[in-house]
Amino acid sequence: MDPQTHPRETHSGASAPATAAGGRRVVALVDDDRNILTTVSIALQAEGFETRVYSDGETALRALTDNPPDLAVFDIKMPRMDGMELLSRLRRQGAVPVIFLTSKDEEVDEIYASLFRELLTYMMEDPRNITPCAHLLFVAKNIERSGDHVTNIAERVLFLVEGAVPHEDRPMKDQSAFTIVESEQNGKR
Which residue in 90, 97, 15 sits closest to 49, CA to CA?
A: 15
Q: What mean pLDDT is predicted for residues 152-170?
A: 71
Q: Is the pLDDT of residue 30 over 70?
A: yes
- pTM summary value: 0.50
Residue 187 binned pLDDT confidence (cut-offs 50, 70, 90): low
Which residue in 86, 82, 71 sits closest to 32, CA to CA?
A: 82
Decide if 73 contacts 30 (C-beta within 8 A).
yes
User: What Cα–Cα distance (Å) separates residue 129 from each residue in 72, 108, 138, 170, 179?
Assistant: 40, 24, 14, 34, 19
pLDDT of residue 8: 35
- The alpha carbon torsion through 163, 164, 165, 168 (nearest 10 deg) reads -140
pLDDT of residue 50: 93
Kindly report, residue by residue over 76-134, the tens digit of the pLDDT.
Answer: 778 888 888 898 898 888 778 888 776 666 767 777 888 888 889 888 998 998 988 88
Percent of the chain topping pLDDT 90 = 14
| Chain Cα centroid distance, residue 134 | 25
Q: Is the pLDDT of residue 53 over 90?
A: yes
Q: Is the pLDDT of residue 26 over 60?
A: yes
Residue 177 binned pLDDT confidence (cut-offs 50, 70, 90): very low
Which residue in 35, 76, 75, 70 sits closest to 52, CA to CA?
A: 70
The listed range with the strongest mean pLDDT (51-65, 66-80, 161-175) is 51-65
